[in-house]
């Protein structure tokens, strides 16, 4: 029995943190956030060189062949650095091809994805979080019609894995006729959302039933939770550091129990989320029967804790917390997006209840 990270996993996470400190510094993130013509290609290039683009893709296709737990650790590092990177879509699309793609489809795409040359996204929001504004994609006779909202990284995607309203998945090439993309301005400027419109878009079906969408949902929940874990830990670390420096009433404010208890509460809430995310990610590969419930709770609980920490860390920073100067708001908004993406906690908990037969 060993419920801990391996030496390799710890080293990978530390090393990725160093790569991100250079490739996705707060200054670099600021520029990306303020300039829509900045596609962040240099950031993704650095991360692809590190191996993130092929994290779960087998070595035969040029990937690292790692597990979802490794991907979750990477996602945590990305959240900590508020990094603009199409990692979520890349992992989900990789899993879709690995579990539902034909040998030809795998040969055509996986190597290009692993090298970072093709950015892939998963278009599953309507089927998981529910449809807004009449969104939804219908598949008839090998063609897709309808629209899909809230696709992170959708503007630059060269490959799209699209769920239809019957929970089946389809592969769509980026340059296909009838596919249009509209930028959706959002609160979190570190991830750009896209609205996709499909008019008779030619698609290839992926050869797997609705359980493939379930797997993508679970993996998505785990990766988003891990991103929130990293962002929350970064906000907690910043609050503690600030409270140790900032002086009022001739003392550092971190010596006031009113302030240090806020920090203790953040730590006490966050640490169990880390344990839950590790377990859910481990279960995704090693104990599939437990994966969905653990993934749902990881997503829901980390969303709740993330909201608490986003608010509390900002408060510990006092007035500086709400300024652009510190940039704390990048983490605040990142946590806000993660909370809603692929379902807010209320919806995810209702799915958790259904998984156990506790809800109809």
Partner 1 sequence: MDLNETPEMTAFRGQVRDFLKARRDDYADGAARDPLAWQLLLIEHGYAARTIPREYGGFGAEPDVLKGRIIAEEFIAASAPRGLTGQGISMLVPTLLEVGSDEQKKRWIGPTLRGEIVWCQGYSEPGAGSDLANLQTKAVEDGDDFVISGSKIWTSTAHLAQMMFCLVRTEPQAAKHEGISYVLIPMDTPGIDVRPLKTMTGGSEFNEIFFSDVRVPQSQVVGGRGRGWFVANTTLKHERGMLGDPNATEARLNALIELMKSESVDGQRIIENPIFRDRLMQLQGRVLSMRCNGLRLLTSQITGESAGIAALIVKLQGCELNHQLAALAIDALGELGILYHDGSHLRAKGRWQWNYMFDLGLIIGGGTAQIQKNIISERGLGMPREPKPAVL
> Pick from 231, 230, 235, 299: which is nearest to 263 by CA?
235
Work out the number of other CB atoms within 10 angstroms of the CB of residue 7: 8
Site string for partner 1, 15-54 (x = CB under 8 A): ----------------------------------------
Q: Which of residues 298-337 bind partner 1 (CB under 8 A)?
A: 300-301, 304
Q: Which is nearer to partner 1, 37 or 257 (CB)?
A: 257
359 part of the interface to partner 1, by CB under 8 A:
yes
Residue 193 in 3-state DSSP? strand
Q: Which of residues 208-267 bind partner 1 (CB under 8 A)?
A: 240, 243-244, 251-252, 254-257, 260-261, 263-265, 267
Stretch that binds partner 1, among 87-95, 128-136, 179-187, 351-359 (CB under 8 A): 351-359
Instruction: Output the smallest distance, CB 210 to partner 1, in A.
Output: 23
| Binds partner 1 (CB under 8 A): choice among 271, 308, 322, 344 | 271
130 part of the interface to partner 1, by CB under 8 A:
no
Q: Which is nearer to partner 1, 32 or 282 (CB)?
A: 282
Stretch that binds partner 1, among 149-157, 180-188, 274-282, 332-340 (CB under 8 A): 274-282
20 by Cβ neighbours in 10 Å (0-12 / 13-18 / 19+) ranks as: buried
DSSP-assigned letter for residue 206: P
Are 123 and 196 in contact, with CB atoms under 8 Å apart? yes
CA angle 224, 194, 88 (to 5 degrees): 25
Please give the Cα distance from 267 to 274 (Å, whole number).
11
Are 148 and 131 in contact, with CB atoms under 8 Å apart? no
1 part of the interface to partner 1, by CB under 8 A:
yes
In the β-sheet with 136-140, what is the strand arrangement from edge to edge?
Answer: 136-140, 143-152, 193-202, 179-184
Q: Which is nearer to partner 1, 46 or 73 (CB)?
A: 73
Terminal-residue alpha carbon distance, the chain:
36
Q: Which is nearer to partner 1, 244 or 311 (CB)?
A: 244
Are 229 and 76 in contact, with CB atoms under 8 Å apart? yes
Residues engaged in binding partner 1 (CB under 8 A): 1-6, 69, 240, 243-244, 251-252, 254-257, 260-261, 263-265, 267-269, 271-276, 278-279, 282, 286-287, 294, 297, 300-301, 304, 346, 349-350, 352-353, 358-360
């Amino acid at each position: 029995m060993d419920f801990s990270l391996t030496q390799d996993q710890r080293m990978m996470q530390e090393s990725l943190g160093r790569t991100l400190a250079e490739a996705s510094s707060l200054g670099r993130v600021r520029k990306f956030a303020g300039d829509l013509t900045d596609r962040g290609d240099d950031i993704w290039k650095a991360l692809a060189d590190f191996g993130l683009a092929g994290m779960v893709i087998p070595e035969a296709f040029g990937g690292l062949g790692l597990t979802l737990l490794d991907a979750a650790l990477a996602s945590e590092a990305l959240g900590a650095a508020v990094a603009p990177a199409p990692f979520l879509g890349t992992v989900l699309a990789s899993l879709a091809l690995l579990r539902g793609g034909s040998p030809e489809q795998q040969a055509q795409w996986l190597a290009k994805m692993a090298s970072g040359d093709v950015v892939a996204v998963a278009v599953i929001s309507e089927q998981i979080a529910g449809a807004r504004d009449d969104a939804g994609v219908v598949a008839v006779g090998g063609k897709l019609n309808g629209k899909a909202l809230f696709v992170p990284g959708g503007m630059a995607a060269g490959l799209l894995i699209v769920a239809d309203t019957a929970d089946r998945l389809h592969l769509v090439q980026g340059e296909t006729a009838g596919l249009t993309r509209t930028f959706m301005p959002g609160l979190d400027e570190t991830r750009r959302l896209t609205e996709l419109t499909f008019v008779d878009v030619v698609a290839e079906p992926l050869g797997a039933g609705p359980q493939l969408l379930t797997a993508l949902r679970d993996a998505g929940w785990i990766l988003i939770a891990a991103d929130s874990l990293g962002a929350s830990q970064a906000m907690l670390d910043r609050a503690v550091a600030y409270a140790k420096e900032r002086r009022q009433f001739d003392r550092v404010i971190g010596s006031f129990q009113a302030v240090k208890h806020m920090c203790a509460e953040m730590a006490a809430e966050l640490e169990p989320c880390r344990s839950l995310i590790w377990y859910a990610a481990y279960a995704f590969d090693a104990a599939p029967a437990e994966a969905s419930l653990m993934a749902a709770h990881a997503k829901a609980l980390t969303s709740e804790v993330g909201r608490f920490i986003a608010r509390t860390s900002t408060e510990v920073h006092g007035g500086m917390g709400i300024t652009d100067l510190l940039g704390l708001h990048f983490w605040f908004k990142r946590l806000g997006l993660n909370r809603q993406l692929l379902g807010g906690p209320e919806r995810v908990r209702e799915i958790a209840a259904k998984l156990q037969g506790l809800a109809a």
